[in-house]
Chains A and B, each alone.
Chain A
Amino acid sequence: MNKNTNKKASPNLFNLVQRFSVPLMFILICAVCIPLSGLSANMLINEIVTRMGRNAFLILSLLIPIMAGMGLNFGMTLGAMAAEIALIFVSDWQIVGIPGMVLAAFISIPISVLLGIFCGKILNEAKGREMITSYIMSFFINGIYQLVVLYLMGSVIPIKHGSIKLPRGYGIRNTVSLLSMRQKLDNLLAIQVAGVKIPVLTFIIIALLCLFIVWFSKTKLGQDMRAVGQDMEVARDAGINVERTRIISIVMSTVLAGFGMIIYLQNMGNIATYSAHSQIGMFCIAALLVGGASVDRASIGNVFLGVILFHTMFIVAPKAGAAITGDSMIGEYFRVFVSYAVITLALVMYETNKRRAKSAAGQQLQAAQDAEEAAGKEKA
């Protein structure tokens, strides 16, 4: 027994380093870039805290589909679009502040649920290629979103206020101001610690979601999702409704992403109507992966570590890039490149690990056989 544990210890350390290679790499990047950027510690911490409040909820919404074995939900943008539509309505009705946000959250729910069900059904038809399908899905729904917001709002769907309509009389402007809601959530109960503003209420909401996710994983539904995520056939044989469970996981993710988007936008203070959602999915997924998550395993810890590391890089890269090359664009491109490279790396690692697991089973068999053969020879 003792021997066994000893044997396992050394590869474990190697595996650990390998598993956390992405976070380690990011710590290195940040360590190099922070001094180069010339940002003060105070400013940096302020920025990180702000971004934590802004993004954490959105990233947390990715956890549930990973639990259900559906990979990274590129379709979380669907929830973001639902939230934007809800916010457009609320600002048209001039309901301000926290009540406006709560109302928007309520309006976003049915839209998110519908989109989630649609997305879940399509993904059930494309088992084994959920990620590419949800990725294309986000583009497809973006087309529908544009149809609704750019053409139907104001012409078919009543929009009263001229300030958010395009001058031509229908369609929504490129930017919708959320001044009445701007950081209302963040500022309520906010405290200053050593010059760093901490949006306590936002953090409380994020903490509540974390608690919810922990609680959820202990429920029957959570258990079913994990079972479905690991082996659909076995789960089906045990009588679990696989398709329905998968759809529920996508619906939950979409609804949560919608709430997350409302928190994100109240912090920004305006909606970039046609672009706010398009990059959200990519940045959230990259942040989660930077935190050490993989396609089939992610935890709440990954989310927070990811937000800190990814956004530190995000803040310092342009300044550091400018300091090195004298061109701020380099840093801008660098952070985009890093986001994509991280996702690529995570996907490649996921696929190669899957294959390695398979070949390891073969090698084990072969070793057992050789041993037996050797034993047989000895006897002879």
Chain B
Amino acid sequence: MNNEKAPLLEMRNIKKDFFGNQVLTDINLKLNEGDVLGLCGENGAGKSTLMKILFGASDITSTGGYGGDILIDGQKVSFSSPFEAIAAGIGMVHQEFSLIPGFDATENILLNREPKKSNIVSEVFGDRLDTLDRKEMDERAKAAIEKMGVSIDQHMMINSMPVGHKQFTEIARELSKEQLRILILDEPTAVLTEREAEALLDSIRGMSARGITVIFITHRLQEILSVCNKVAVMRDGVLVQEVPAKETSVEQITHWMVGRDVKGGSAAVSTRTHEDAKTILKIEKLWVDMPGETVRNVNLEVKEGEILGIGGLAGQGKLGIPNGIMGLYEAGGKVTFDGNEIPLNNPRKCLDSSFAFVSEDRRGVGLLLDESLEWNVAFPAMQIQNKFLKYYLGGLVKWRDEKAIREVTEKYIDELKIKCTSSKQNARELSGGNQQKICLAKAFALEPRVLFVSEPTRGIDVGAKALVLDALKKFNRENGVTVVMISSELEELRQTCDRIAIVSGGKISGILPASSSVEELGTLMLSNVI
């Protein structure tokens, strides 16, 4: 017992809440030198938040820090910025590249850590006027690339590199840091080809042999089993399992990731079948070029009056489907509504065909943040259907009917229980949940026949979630509106929808009734993850 070293990294009772919204509960984790931990869980399970805490990210410190302790070599540490974490030997490769496009690999690997030579001028004016030691830079970059075990051209400009090489440049940058002991890789294989991914896994094995501890986040469970020695599964902010990789299987991990307690509302509230109903919307061979959410070859039939759920992990393409149909991103294929073909890439035509869309990008696309709630609710209906207008001069002048606008806004404020000071308040001042309700009200005011709702509960608290989902259901039941709801949360889909289509790897991997078990859906979700 005595000669057992303290673990390299230990996390004790890590807790984190964002404004009362508990996102992490009592996380305990121990890692030794050379361990490779596979960290998996659905989106929103808390993986990223946990890593951000470890890395001292500013959005953790600015939201009140975290509870619990982090120990490195048995010493308690607390990072208030990523720079402190880096100094303590932690490196992180993010999903988004952090590279200077016009620099070559060497310059990026050693960015702001370039070896320098001093000269007369810098003696006087400070070391920022040291000249760069290009030879030494080349050598150090070369050493880092060798350490990684994947060969990349160290003099190639980033903007002419294939995506995989950019990823490797980032990893080499972390490896070039002498003090590096713990490396966090956040879905590094998502952008790699199969061969590149294989090379990366080899490289991880090499790092581990050299005593570097790697935390590897991925949705490709097979990779975890092939490279990791430990697997940790997170769900709803709790670390549900931590086992040696040898003792588990893909099926088991999937089960842990998506499984709920037996009681926890595992059956959908009310499943209806619409098998006899006519197909109101038919999607054939749809492809959508939405960065990060591309889909191709989507074939889908939506029955009149149903609520169709579309689920899947982030980045797999589920968001591409509504955005493509509504013309917000470049798309191709054929969409038929009630027998008529709907032209793509033209938002106006979709809206004219009585579609409505609640975007997942609430603040970017969904709202006029600096205008009143009245404007937000009434605008599309006014522009598309000439509602809330008064006509003068024989219809020549279409005047905004402020009274009608206020009435409809107040109606929805009442119905959806939107908390605001008045209908004249600016949308920016509302909380996330209430902003989402405004987005719904905007779509309801269009009185659509088909409503696309994208991530309706993203970033809103539990109480508001239930209200939003209930409002959707009520709108569907009472007005007979067909709803297509896209969400990352399986549970939410199961409670709200009639059928659930799962998107994985940019394709529909299957459609199941909402009463199917979480495991069935979860398996589909992970079936061909890219």
A and B touch in the complex (CB under 8 A): yes
| Across-interface contacts of B127 in A (CB, < 8 A) | 220
**Contact residue among B83, B103, B289 (Cβ-Cβ distance under 8 Å from A230):** B103
* Contact, CB under 8 Å: A239 / B112: yes
Within 8 A of B (CB), among A46-68: none
- The verdict on A221 contacting B101 (CB below 8 Å), with A240-B112, A362-B330, A369-B289 known, is no
Q: Does A126 contact B (CB under 8 A)?
A: no
* Contact, CB under 8 Å: A221 / B98: no
- Cβ proximity bits B122-140 to A, threshold 8 Å, 1 near / 0 not: 1000011111100000000
User: 24 A-B residue contacts at CB 8 Å?
Assistant: A215-B131, A218-B131, A219-B128, A220-B128, A220-B130, A220-B131, A220-B132, A221-B129, A223-B132, A226-B103, A227-B112, A230-B102, A230-B103, A231-B99, A234-B99, A234-B100, A235-B100, A235-B111, A237-B82, A238-B112, A366-B330, A369-B289, A373-B296, A376-B296
* Contact, CB under 8 Å: B114 / A220: yes
* Contact, CB under 8 Å: A223 / B101: no
| Across-interface contacts of B296 in A (CB, < 8 A) | 369, 372-373, 376
| Across-interface contacts of B495 in A (CB, < 8 A) | none
Q: In the complex, which of the residues B100, B116, B291 has the most CB atoms of chain A within 10 Å of its own CB atom?
A: B100
Within 8 A of B (CB), among A225-253: 226-227, 230-231, 233-235, 237-240
* Contact, CB under 8 Å: A230 / B132: no
CB distance from B209 to the nearest CB of A (A): 28
Given contacts A237-B82, A369-B287, 19 further A-B contacts (CB under 8 A): A215-B131, A219-B128, A219-B129, A219-B130, A219-B132, A220-B132, A227-B100, A227-B103, A227-B111, A231-B99, A231-B100, A235-B112, A239-B83, A240-B112, A365-B291, A369-B294, A369-B296, A373-B296, A376-B296
Within 8 A of B (CB), among A247-261: none
Q: In the complex, which of the residues B82, B101, B112, B297 has the most CB atoms of chain A within 10 Å of its own CB atom?
A: B112
Q: Does B107 contact A (CB under 8 A)?
A: yes
Within 8 A of B (CB), among A197-222: 215, 218-221
CA distance in complex: A106, B366 (Å): 57
Q: In the complex, which of the residues A234, A366, A376 has the most CB atoms of chain B within 10 Å of its own CB atom?
A: A234
| Across-interface contacts of A231 in B (CB, < 8 A) | 99-101
The 9 closest A-B pairs by CB, nearest first: A238-B112, A221-B128, A238-B111, A230-B100, A230-B102, A234-B98, A366-B289, A239-B112, A219-B129
- Interface band, chain B: 20 to 34
A interface residue numbers (CB < 8 A to B): 215, 218-221, 223-224, 226-227, 230-231, 233-235, 237-240, 361-362, 365-366, 369, 372-373, 376
CA distance in complex: A366, B345 (Å): 14
| Across-interface contacts of B129 in A (CB, < 8 A) | 219-221
Within 8 A of A (CB), among B168-207: none
- The verdict on A373 contacting B297 (CB below 8 Å), with A234-B100, A365-B289 known, is yes
CA distance in complex: A233, B287 (Å): 32
| Across-interface contacts of A366 in B (CB, < 8 A) | 289, 330
CB distance from A320 to the nearest CB of B (A): 41
CB distance from A183 to the nearest CB of B (A): 31
CA distance in complex: A322, B230 (Å): 85
CB distance from A278 to the nearest CB of B (A): 33
* Contact, CB under 8 Å: A223 / B107: yes
**Contact residue among B99, B102, B112 (Cβ-Cβ distance under 8 Å from A224):** B112
- The verdict on A223 contacting B82 (CB below 8 Å), with A369-B287, A369-B289, A376-B297 known, is no
| Across-interface contacts of B132 in A (CB, < 8 A) | 218-220, 223
Identity of the chain B residue whose Cβ is nearest the Cβ of A373 in the assembled complex: B296
- The verdict on A365 contacting B294 (CB below 8 Å), with A219-B128, A227-B111, A227-B112 known, is yes
CA distance in complex: A142, B127 (Å): 35
* Contact, CB under 8 Å: A226 / B102: yes
Identity of the chain A residue whose Cβ is nearest the Cβ of B94 in the assembled complex: A237
CB distance from B302 to the nearest CB of A (A): 23
Identity of the chain B residue whose Cβ is nearest the Cβ of A296 in the assembled complex: B102
CA distance in complex: A365, B132 (Å): 37
* Contact, CB under 8 Å: A224 / B128: yes
CB distance from A350 to the nearest CB of B (A): 15
CB distance from A255 to the nearest CB of B (A): 13
CB distance from A109 to the nearest CB of B (A): 13
CA distance in complex: A373, B101 (Å): 30
| Across-interface contacts of B100 in A (CB, < 8 A) | 226-227, 230-231, 234-235
Identity of the chain B residue whose Cβ is nearest the Cβ of A229 in the assembled complex: B102
| Across-interface contacts of A215 in B (CB, < 8 A) | 131
CA distance in complex: A373, B127 (Å): 55
* Contact, CB under 8 Å: A219 / B112: no
Within 8 A of A (CB), among B290-314: 291, 294, 296-297
Q: In the complex, which of the residues B83, B107, B111, B114 has the most CB atoms of chain A within 10 Å of its own CB atom?
A: B111
| Across-interface contacts of B130 in A (CB, < 8 A) | 219-220
CB distance from A19 to the nearest CB of B (A): 16
* Contact, CB under 8 Å: A373 / B287: yes
| Across-interface contacts of A227 in B (CB, < 8 A) | 100, 103, 111-112
| Across-interface contacts of A365 in B (CB, < 8 A) | 289, 291, 294
Identity of the chain B residue whose Cβ is nearest the Cβ of A367 in the assembled complex: B289
**Contact residue among B82, B111, B131, B291 (Cβ-Cβ distance under 8 Å from A219):** B131
CA distance in complex: A227, B112 (Å): 9
- The verdict on A220 contacting B116 (CB below 8 Å), with A227-B111, A365-B289, A372-B296 known, is yes
Identity of the chain B residue whose Cβ is nearest the Cβ of A357 in the assembled complex: B159
| Across-interface contacts of A221 in B (CB, < 8 A) | 128-129
CA distance in complex: A233, B330 (Å): 28
